[in-house]
Amino acid sequence: MAEMNNTNKDFTSTHFVSALADGAYVWPGGYPKYFVTSDGEALSFQGAKDNSEQIAESIDSGANDGWRVVGMNINWECPDMYCCHRNERIESAYAEDQGCEDEMTRQSRGG
């Protein structure tokens, strides 16, 4: 499941369309972005772009159909993150050669 740090219950289809129009990387920094769905899955920029009409409809209707995007995030350090739709790897900003830690592992270390 994707991290939910930068999601917003008020994420609208206007926010979504704007995020797509801004491109696959945030600026400044050029960090790779991805979208988070209401069921906690990660959706790549290209996966979101390919299904933008369905996603906008789901956002507007509040559907919990797997397509409603609730936010956008940056994949900082997880080289093992994959798009739930395209099954493609979502680029990470820093940890291309490291595996992800899950939340339970971080908590067990006190992090």
Alpha-carbon distance 97 to 77, whole Å?
9
Alpha-carbon distance 41 to 55, whole Å?
13
- What does the domain layout of the chain look like in residue ranges? 13-104
pLDDT above 60: residue 7:
no
pLDDT digits (tens, 9 = 90+) for 38-70: 999 999 999 999 999 999 999 999 999 999 999
pLDDT above 80: residue 4:
no
pLDDT digits (tens, 9 = 90+) for 64-110: 999 999 999 999 989 999 999 999 999 999 976 555 555 434 444 45
What value does the mean pLDDT take over residues 15-19? 96
Alpha-carbon distance 108 to 111, whole Å?
7
8 A C-beta contact, residue 5 and residue 34: no
Mean pLDDT estimate for the chain: 84
What value does the mean pLDDT take over residues 13-20? 96
For the chain, what percent of residues have pLDDT higher than 90? Answer: 70
